[in-house]
Amino acid sequence: MSEISISVGPLAPADVVAVAREGAKVALAPEALEEISRGRKVIEDLAGDVQPHYGVSTGFGALATRHIPTELRAQLQRSLVRSHAAGSGPEVEREVVRALMLLRLSTLATGRTGVRPEVAQAYADVLNAGITPVVHEYGSLGCSGDLAPLAHCALAVMGEGTVRDADGVAKPAAEALAAAGITPVELREKEGLALINGTDGMLGMLLLALDDLRRLLRTADISAAMSVEAQLGTDRVFAEHLQALRPHPGQADSAANLRALLADSPIVASHRGPDCTRVQDAYSLRCSPQVHGAARDTAGHAATVAERELASAIDNPVVTLDGTVESNGNFHGAPVAAVLDFLAISVADVASIAERRTDRMLDTARSHGLNAFLADDPGVDSGHMIAQYTQAAIVSELKRLAAPASVDSIPSSAMQEDHVSMGWSAARKLRRALDGLTRVVAVELLTAARALDLRAPLEPSPATGAVVAGLRAAGVAGPGTDRFLAPEIEAAVQYVASGRALAAAEAVTGPLA
């Protein structure tokens, strides 16, 4: 994989994912180093000014009225980072920390923060060495930036605190930096502040969530198509002319996917004739494009917000293009927090309709001839009865996670920071919600595959049949007497999460929307 160039302009979302998840290397572009040097000169020209300048010669937050003499300013920056590295709780995932550091580096590269080039280079070196600062789950209010998470990263670059090396081994930061040949940074005026004053954690998690959702929403279309077949549903409601009567782009894409997935399905064709007495399918089948499409459109809006954030230079104070240093409120996480919460609502809705489709396959009153709970010998065997319980438990949890974090605010810093976004919290719960959606879709896919096998000798469409074959190749056997179900559910989860289920369908249909 080639190096990703960090320039003055915005990163592409795919570049963030590549660095965070795939370990791609980064390099500072020459123009970025030039812009960083220009911004630094502004700060150095102010350092000797008798007039106080926030972050350069004053304290922070509610302590901004204290003028700091020249000889104490390096200590001021070190103290800021040490005191703000106050996180608690479980470690944050490696991919989140790498995304956070990359996005802070991208802002440093704009020259708007006033750090020296060697500070930015240290961040690039740490990323390239695979060193991951230990960041804890609690500590950010999503305003004045993701302060505690970013401070733990800055602390590591100073050679303090704890990190994990490229092999995932926890060790003192000084030891890991030395092993990688990286010299710890000695912070100067404003640099500590510049390293912790950004919304990089919540933005990084938003970008990773959008990457996951692109896969999951297409996979939800696959499991929905399998459920339509398994329940002898119709594909006529997904016709393009019907969807065009309500021209939401996400709905159109989802319906197009369902048409492609159900194309040439012998099961669907078997009940198209005049002998079929069913007038219309239940909402959970018929309205799949509307629900999945709404989630797609929500993700589209969130992606627009993310792109604007990627084009932003967030710091306070900021070095402006005309060479002044100005205080501002761009560190407030409200724009990101709102879409993170919005996505959690859509995730819960997609999972909810998937669970309802699953439940219909297990109920003899609604499954159109399938065995109760898809059991081999109902009564002796329970089939997928409890798989649906697992789904239901997750869906219930997702409804709780859909309660917005961004409507909360707790004042901090002696009422100087009296309104905060809670965007970091919104991002953390969205990550949990996406894990839940993955599991719910996997259980629907697992159950629908079993139901399709039970429809033999009728066959599913080429696309859904390929998905069933891929699941069987992944070690999940077809119908039979009851067996230990948890490993099969986990195999289905990995089949969905890895993208292999999507790849199996797209090998037949071509790329899904």
CA dist 162 to 76, 202, 214, 469, Å?
Answer: 21, 22, 34, 46
Q: Which residue has the tokens 């006529």?
A: 236
pLDDT at position 504 is 98
Q: Which of 76, 157, 85, 168 is nearest to 116 (CA)?
A: 157
The three-class DSSP label of residue 84 is helix
Non-local CB neighbours of 14 within 8 Å, separated by 6+ positions: none
Q: Are 281 and 237 in contact (CB under 8 A)?
A: yes
Indicate if the pLDDT at residue 275 is higher than 70: no
For range 60-80, the mean pLDDT: 80
Q: How far is CA 138 from the centre of its chain?
A: 18
> b vs e for 148-178, b when ≥16 Cβ sit within 10 Å of the residue's Cβ?
bbbbbbbbbbbbbbbbbbeeeeeeebeebbe
Nearest residue to 448 via CA among 202, 223, 174, 172: 223
Mean pLDDT of 48-62: 73
Across 47-57, average pLDDT: 74
Active site residues: 54
Residue with tokens 């859909």: 402
| Assessment of whether the complete model's pTM goes beyond 0.85 | yes
Confidence of residue 211 (pLDDT cuts 50, 70, 90): very high
End-to-end CA distance of the chain: 26
Contact by Cβ (8 Å): 509, 260: yes
How would you label 260-283 residue by residue, b for 16+ Cβ within 10 Å and e otherwise? Answer: bbbeebebbeeeeeeeeeeeebee
Least confident of 172-186, 409-423, 499-513: 409-423
Comparing CA positions, the residue from 360, 198, 343 lying closest to residue 284 is 360
Does the structure show a pLDDT above 90 at 76? no
The 10s digit of each residue's pLDDT in 115-132 is: 999 999 999 999 999 999
pLDDT at 277: 59
Q: How far is it, in rounded angstroms, from Cα 231 to Cα 26?
A: 50
Name 230's Cβ contacts closer than 8 Å, sequence gap at least 6.
267, 361, 370, 448, 451, 452, 455
User: What pLDDT sits at residue 141?
Assistant: 94
- Which residues, including other chains, have CB under 8 Å from residue 198's CB and lie 6 or more apart? 103, 104, 107, 145, 146, 150, 314, 315, 331
What is the bridge-based pairing of β-strands 88-91 and 136-138?
Answer: antiparallel
Confidence check: pLDDT of 279 > 70: no
In the chain, ranges of CATH 1.10.275.10 domains: 4-198
Could you tell me where in the chain the CATH 1.20.200.10 domains are found? 205-272+279-315+346-410+421-509
CA 158, 19, 152 angle in degrees (round to 5)?
A: 25
Q: Is the pLDDT of residue 347 over 80?
A: yes
- pLDDT at position 414 over 90: no
Q: Is residue 81 within 8 Å of residue 155, measured between CB atoms? A: yes
CB neighbourhood size of 334 (10 A): 16
Q: Residue ranges of the alpha helices (H) in 5-93?
A: 13-22, 30-47, 73-84
Q: Give the whole-number percent of the chain exceeding pLDDT 90.
A: 87
The whole-chain average pLDDT of the chain stands at: 95
pLDDT in tens, 79-99: 999 999 999 999 999 999 999
Q: Are 179 and 165 in contact (CB under 8 A)?
A: yes
Average pLDDT over residues 20-39: 97
Residue 309's nearest CA partner among 336, 327, 340 is: 336
Q: Is the peptide bond before 30 cis (omega within 30 degrees of 0)?
A: no
CB-based contacts of 391: which residues, under 8 Å, 6+ apart?
354, 355, 358, 439, 440, 443, 444
pLDDT one-digit tens code per residue, 215-270: 999 999 999 999 999 999 999 999 999 999 999 999 999 999 999 999 999 999 99
Report the pLDDT value the prediction gives residue 495, as an integer from 0 to 100.
98
Please give the full DSSP string across 443-493, using - where no structure is assigned.
HHHHHHHHHHHHTTTS---HHHHHHHHHHHHTT---S-S----HHHHHHHH
- Note the pLDDT of residue 2: 76
Q: Which pLDDT score is estimated for 58?
A: 74
Identify the pLDDT of residue 69.
Answer: 81
158: which 2 tokens? 């100073």
Work out whether strand 4-6 and strand 26-28 pair parallel, antiparallel, or are unpaired: parallel
* Residue 340 or residue 58, greater confidence: 340
CATH 1.20.200.10 fits 205-272+279-315+346-410+421-509, yes or no: yes
Do 400 and 176 touch, CB atoms closer than 8 A?
A: no
Model pLDDT, residue 82: 97
| 352: confidence class by pLDDT, cuts 50, 70, 90 | very high
Alpha-carbon distance of 445 to 88, in angstroms, equals 38
Q: Is the pLDDT of residue 429 over 70?
A: yes
Q: How far apart (Å, rounded) are the C-alpha atoms in residues 459 and 474? A: 20
Residues 6+ apart with CB under 8 A from 89: 136, 137, 138
Classify domain 4-198 at the CATH class level: mainly alpha
Tell me if 197 sits within 8 A of 331, measured CB to CB.
yes
Can you tell me the distance from the alpha carbon of 471 to that of 488, in angstroms, rounded to the nearest whole number? 10
Amino acid at 73: R
pLDDT at 215: 98
